[in-house]
Amino acid sequence: MDRYIVFLQAEENKSPLTVANYRRSLNLLLELMDVSAPEDINKMSIRSLKVALHSSKARKGSALTISTKNYHLTVLRAFLRYLLQDEELEVYSPDRVRRFKEGERQVKVLFHDELQRLLEAPDTSTKIGKRDKAMLQLFFSTGMRLAELRSLDRKDLNFDTREISVRGKRSKIRVVFLSDDAVFALKEYLEARIDHITPLFIRNFDKARDAMPPGEEFRLSRISIYNAVKKYARAAGIVSDPSPHTLRHSFATDLLRNGADLRSVQELLGHQDLSTTQIYTHVTNPQLKEVHKKFHDSST
């Protein structure tokens, strides 16, 4: 397992976050599987693993979702493939590790009025409010993932072209674009900062003022960004409990509802496969609404 982690870093160039997630998943698999060596993995041990995954709990005590269970099985498949190809061990075929059948993925999006209330929720008379307003506007303007937004540095912003080059999953670079509202919010936030450190979104403004660059220790954490979105959603009275990813969903559906083609949305989101982007077509197809209106007689 340790050699596989090194392989992910050195050969696959996986991000630190991906490597950390793989390590956690492998540790869980080692805990749940009753095997002492890779060669001991067989049909029965895989079946026992699936039963154990059904009984496992997430950090908050809730049962694991099907997508989380399948993630662990995907990691196991990748590990077995590494053992076959790189360590040349005779292990169980990764293709025989079948994932659980998933229902169609549900997409949570915000209604227009909810979105407006959320974006207006931060108190921009404070530095924290200016920062959080800029984060929310940037999420909705670009459809960035939480990890992508967190990793941004000040130098990544180009207000002249209103573009940002983002390094997404699998280290793929894509260009995202800033709306007028996002530009305004970001400029207000940056004008309120009197430090010289590198990260775009930071904590402890007063301490950061005297810090020497790069000041990585002041970069806002993933959980802080996540909790900020949750906090402003509650303040805005949004009962659907949106997350940063909900803003990404809202960005995609907003584009499609306004006539953007699927391929362009795929590029803007950084999806590798078009099938991933197609989940949004179910909530943005205006023709279905017209068919219902035209042919469904509500009086019967």
Catalytic residues: 145, 169, 245, 248, 271, 280
Whether 204 and 211 have beta carbons less than 8 Å apart is answered as no
Token pair for residue 23? 């390590």
Signed CA dihedral, 180, 182, 188, 193: sign only: negative
Q: DSSP 3-state assignment of 5?
A: helix
**Residue matched to tokens 């023709």:** 287
Annotate 164-193 with DSSP letters as a single string. Answer: EEEE-GGG-EEEEE--HHHHHHHHHHHHH-
DSSP H helical ranges for the chain: 2-10, 16-32, 43-55, 66-85, 112-120, 127-142, 146-150, 180-192, 205-208, 222-235, 244-257, 262-269, 274-277, 286-295
What whole-number distance in Å separates Cα of residue 36 and Cα of residue 160? 58
107 closest CA partner among 248, 272, 258: 248
Q: DSSP 3-state assignment of 34?
A: coil
CA distances 136 to 200, 217, 270, Å, are 14, 22, 19
121 alpha-carbon distance from chain centroid: 22
